Structure formats: structure tokens, C-alpha cells
């Protein structure tokens, strides 16, 4: 057994990251991909990796790799990692706990002097959140072969800047994009530590969640165009108003998602842009995102088809121009039973109670599952709150997750095979 995680290291890492905040005047932290603040956070993490005895590399999409050498440099590495980008007004744990936790786990392994055959690599995946470019898991998506360099030219932020131009500005296009891609066998196993973002562990009073499967997202970007007109002088029967049309679609989405009557079928409209966005003008255009999640591929496809049909019906009835694109349509994935088994064994030998559960939130591990055996460790979230400044997990709870992570990584790094 390794010595316990150092709570001060975890606290310092998380508090330092939280200071890289593009909107310090607002509650919470905002740090989107390749902003000045995110670039500073990336430098901080790279320094921390180096101080922990790791070799640091980046790839052409901006993923960061910090590797602790093993005795067999040719053996496939064991991975652990998460993300440091955030939603708008985020908390300070979503993603960051997994990055700081993995670095601390490596420090513990190194300090213990325990031998390990396989390299252990901490990965900071580029932009797990869809905040800036509308698509999440950008780094892991590219690793899994679902985002080509050409496609980065089609991903724009709200200011019309493409992901490609940002990669070019920061020098990432000088690196080999083909090397981003990972194939089966490249990674021996991957374990991501993350906050739960739901209240289950807290309600059960259990410190560790072991993730058995991850729900996957589908994103639909919708644009409705009508007629921009005067709000006072235009009678109700002479309008082609896009706002009530969007409201109708959003309520139908809620109704459809609820009709499945289970906890994993969920749908959200979280981003709406109205043009020109003035109180006395009938809006001529509205854009909104639809985020659908499920652990069942079939249910997600059915719900997606139904809401897309409904968008067409509403547009036809109200004489609007409707455009929509399904921009992300990920497959749900189950964790690898053998990696899960290692995590269960680790919890048992550390005498830490655990609960097996499904993740409603997605994670980079969803894409990693396409090329490596993966599993995840959850630690409790106070009141289940996440994607909000009130997100909270105590340092002691994170340290408990890091203890499980470190021991499991060491074990995996000395396994010949998972069989």
C-alpha cells in the first residue's frame, strides 16, 4: 500500500488552478480552451508535472501528457487524466480534481520508490467542455479518430474564430496531427478520477463511486429564421416570430425526454441566442442548442429523430426557415470489467466502501473507451451540484479518491495483461 495522498498538494493545485479565471468579477471560474487564462493554467500544469519527475509532451490538438517512466519504456502506458477547461461560471473541481489527483497519485508512487514496469501517463485532455467550440471532448475525440484537422476548420466560437486558427496561433499545427490518433493496444488501461456531479454518493454516505458506464451526448444546433418586425405595430396574426416557435420546441423536448420515465434519458436547452435581442422587436432569428443524453443508444436516436421531426413541423406551421445539425452523436460506453475489477480490489484492500454506478455526465473516458480499457472513480459532490460555482467536494474526499487511484495505477502498471 502506498502512503496516503497529501491533502495540501491537492488543495494548492486546485486553488492555484481556480485563480486562472477569465471572469474574476463573477462567482465561480471561467476558463475556456486556449484563452489566456487557460494557457496559463496549461503552463502551471506542465511545470507541476515536471516538478513531479514527469516528461511532458503535447500533441497537435493540445492534449498534454506527463509521463512517469516505468522500468519497461516500451510497455503500453497506464493513463489517468481529465480536463482543466470549464463551463461559464464553473466550480473548481469538475475535471481539475482528476488532473491534480492524477499528478498527486504519480508523486505518491514516485516518492514510495515502488517499482512499476509500465509508464504512467497523466493526460490533460483538450476542451472536455463544449463551452468554446460547441463540441465537447475535443482532445479525446481527436484521439478516437472522430475529429480530423480539416474538421477543426469548421468548429467556430461565438466570435467566429475557428479551432484551427487557434491551433495555428499557438503553434500546435507544427506538430504531427496523425500522431494524435490512438489505436487499440497503445494504452494498457485508463482510469479517470472525477467528481460525481450528482447526489448519489452523498445520499448513500459512500466515499467512492466506481463507474460502470457513461451516458453519451447528442448535440443539435438549431437556427430558426422568421421576420424581424415592430413589437407594437405588428398584429398577432401578421407575425413570423421565432421565439414562441423555439419555446414550443423546447417544451416538446422536455415532454419527450420525460416520457421515457427513467433517470438516464435527459434533454436540455442551455444556450439560446435571440437576434436582435431587444424588448420591443419581434426577433427575426433564434439559435439554440439541444443536448440529449442517454445510456441507451437506441433511446437517444429515437428522441433525436422525434425532436428533429418536431422542429420541421413547427417551422412549417409557423412559416419559418429551420436549419439544424446533429454535430455530436456519441455512443454510450461501458467500463472495462477487468479495470473495474482492479478498482474494486483496490477499494477492498484499502477498506474503503464503494458503490457501482452509471455516469449521467460524459467524460473524456467516453472517447478513451474506443481505444483503451477504461474505468472511472467518482468522489461525492455536495448536494449533487456541478457546473455551478457552488460545486464542492472536500479535499479529504478527493484525497480518498486519489488513494484509490494511486494504488490502482501502481497495480495496473505492474500487470502483464488484463486477463
Which residues would be at the binding site for ligand GLV (CB under 6 A)? Answer: 129, 361-362
Residue 192 touches which member of Mn ion, ligand GLV, none, C-beta under 5-8 Å by kind: none
Minimum CB separation from ligand GLV for residue 295, in Å?
13
User: CB of 217: closest distance to ligand GLV in angstroms?
Assistant: 7
Nearest residue (beta carbon) to ligand GLV? 361
Least Å from the CB of residue 388 to ligand GLV: 12
The cell 463551463 sits on which residue?
A: 87
Give the per-residue SS3 of the chain.
Answer: CCCCCCHHHHHHHHHHHHHCCCCCCCCCECCCCCCHHHHHHHHHHHHHHHHCCCEEEECCCCCEEEEECCCCCCCCCEEEEECCCCCCCECCCCCHHHHHHHHHHHHHHHHHCCCCCCCEEEEECCCCCCCCCCCCCHHHHHHCCCCCHHHHCCCECCCCCEHHHHHHHCCHHHCCHHHHCCCCCCCCEEEEEEECCCCHHHHHCCCEEEEEEECEEEEEEEEEECCCEECCCCCHHHCCCHHHHHHHHHHHHHHHHHHCCCCCCEEECCCEEEECCCCCEECCEEEEEEEEEECCHHHHHHHHHHHHHHHHHHHHHCCCEEEEEEEEECCCEECCHHHHHHHHHHHHHHCCCEEEEEECCCCHHHHHCCCCCEEEEEECCHHHCCCCCCCCCCHHHHHHHHHHHHHHHHHHCCCCCCC
Q: Which residues are CB-neighbours of 48 under 8 A, at least 6 positions away?
A: 13, 103
With DSSP H G I counted as helix, E B as strand and the rest as coil, what are the percentages for the chain, rounded to 5? 35, 20, 40
- 62 vs 95 by CB, closer to Mn ion: 95
Please say which residue, 37 or 129, places its beta carbon nearer to ligand GLV. Answer: 129
The residue (of 129 and 192) whose beta carbon lies closer to ligand GLV is 129
Task: Extract the C-alpha cell encoding 303.
Answer: 428522441
Partner whose binding site includes residue 362, from ligand GLV, Mn ion, none (CB under 5 to 8 Å by kind)? ligand GLV
Name, in order, each residue with C-beta under 8 angstroms of 192's C-beta and a sequence gap of 6 or more: 80, 81, 82, 98, 363, 364, 365, 368, 374, 376, 377
Which single residue brings its beta carbon nearest to Mn ion? 95
Q: Which residue has the cell 479525446?
A: 140
Residue 222 binds which of Mn ion, ligand GLV, none (CB < 5-8 A, kind-dependent): none
Cβ closer to ligand GLV: 129 or 285?
129
| 54 interacts with, out of Mn ion, ligand GLV, none, CB within 5 to 8 A per kind | none
Report in angstroms how near the CB of residue 330 gets to ligand GLV at its nearest.
11
Nearer to ligand GLV, 199 or 284 (CB): 199
> Contact residues for Mn ion (CB under 5 A)?
94-95
Closest approach of ligand GLV to the CB of residue 415, in Å: 30
CB of 152 to ligand GLV, least distance (A): 20
* Binding partner selected for residue 163 from ligand GLV, Mn ion, none, CB under the kind-specific 5 to 8 Å limit: none
Using the minimum distance from each CB to ligand GLV, give the nearer residue, 108 or 200.
Answer: 200
Q: What would the grid cell of residue 117 be? A: 514496469
CB of residue 18 to ligand GLV, shortest distance in Å: 17
- Residue 83 Cβ, how far from Mn ion at the closest point, in Å? 6
Nearer residue to ligand GLV within complex by CB, 322 or 361? 361
In terms of CB distance, is 294 or 364 closer to Mn ion? 364
Neighbours of 287 (CB within 10 A): 17
- In angstroms, what is the minimal distance from the CB of 160 to ligand GLV? 24
Nearer to ligand GLV, 67 or 86 (CB): 86
Q: Which strand (E) or helix (H) includes residue 250?
A: helix 242-259
**Residue 13, contacted partner among ligand GLV, Mn ion, none, CB below 5-8 A by kind:** none
Least distance to ligand GLV, CB of residue 362, Å: 4
Binding site partner of 196, from ligand GLV, Mn ion, none, Cβ cut-off 5-8 A by kind: none
Amino acid at each position: 500500500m502506498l502512503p496516503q495522498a497529501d491533502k495540501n498538494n491537492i488543495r494548492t493545485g486546485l486553488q492555484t488552478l481556480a485563480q486562472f479565471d477569465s471572469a474574476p468579477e463573477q462567482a465561480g471560474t471561467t476558463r475556456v480552451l486556449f484563452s489566456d487564462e487557460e494557457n496559463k493554467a496549461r503552463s502551471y500544469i506542465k511545470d507541476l508535472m515536471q516538478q513531479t519527475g514527469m516528461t511532458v509532451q503535447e500533441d497537435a490538438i493540445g492534449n498534454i501528457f506527463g509521463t512517469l517512466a516505468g522500468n519497461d519504456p516500451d510497455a503500453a502506458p497506464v493513463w489517468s487524466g481529465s480536463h482543466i477547461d470549464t463551463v461559464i461560471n464553473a466550480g473548481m473541481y469538475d475535471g481539475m480534481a482528476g488532473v491534480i489527483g492524477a499528478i498527486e497519485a504519480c508523486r505518491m508512487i514516485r516518492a514510495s520508490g515502488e517499482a512499476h514496469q509500465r509508464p504512467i501517463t497523466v493526460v490533460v485532455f483538450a476542451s472536455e467542455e463544449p463551452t468554446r467550440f460547441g463540441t465537447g471532448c475535443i482532445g479525446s475525440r481527436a484521439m478516437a479518430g472522430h475529429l480530423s484537422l480539416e474538421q477543426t476548420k469548421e468548429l467556430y466560437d461565438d466570435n467566429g474564430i475557428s479551432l484551427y486558427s487557434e491551433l495555428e496561433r499557438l503553434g500546435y499545427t507544427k506538430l504531427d496531427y496523425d500522431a494524435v490518433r490512438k489505436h487499440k493496444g497503445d494504452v494498457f488501461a485508463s482510469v479517470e478520477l472525477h467528481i460525481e456531479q450528482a447526489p448519489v454518493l452523498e445520499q448513500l454516505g459512500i466515499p467512492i463511486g466506481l463507474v460502470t458506464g457513461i451516458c453519451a451526448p447528442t448535440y443539435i444546433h438549431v437556427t430558426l429564421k422568421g421576420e424581424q418586425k415592430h413589437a407594437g405595430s405588428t398584429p398577432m396574426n401578421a407575425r413570423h416570430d421565432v421565439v414562441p416557435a423555439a419555446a414550443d420546441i423546447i417544451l416538446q423536448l422536455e415532454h419527450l425526454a420525460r416520457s421515457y420515465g427513467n433517470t438516464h434519458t435527459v434533454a436540455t436547452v442551455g444556450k439560446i441566442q435571440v437576434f436582435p435581442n431587444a424588448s420591443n422587436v419581434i426577433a427575426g432569428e433564434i439559435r439554440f442548442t439541444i443536448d440529449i443524453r442517454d445510456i441507451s443508444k437506441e433511446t437517444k436516436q429515437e428522441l433525436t429523430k422525434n425532436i428533429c421531426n418536431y422542429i420541421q413541423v413547427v417551422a412549417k406551421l409557423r412559416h419559418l426557415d429551420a436549419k439544424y445539425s446533429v454535430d455530436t452523436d456519441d455512443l454510450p460506453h461501458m467500463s472495462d470489467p477487468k479495470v473495474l475489477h482492479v478498482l474494486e480490489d483496490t477499494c477492498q484492500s484499502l477498506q474503503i466502501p464503494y458503490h457501482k454506478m452509471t455516469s449521467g455526465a460524459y467524460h473524456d473516458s467516453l472517447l478513451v473507451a474506443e481505444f483503451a480499457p477504461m474505468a472511472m472513480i467518482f468522489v461525492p459532490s455536495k448536494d449533487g451540484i456541478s457546473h455551478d460555482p457552488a460545486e464542492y467536494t472536500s479535499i479529504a474526499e478527493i484525497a480518498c479518491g486519489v488513494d484509490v487511484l494511486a494504488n490502482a495505477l501502481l497495480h495496473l502498471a505492474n500487470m502483464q495483461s488484463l486477463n
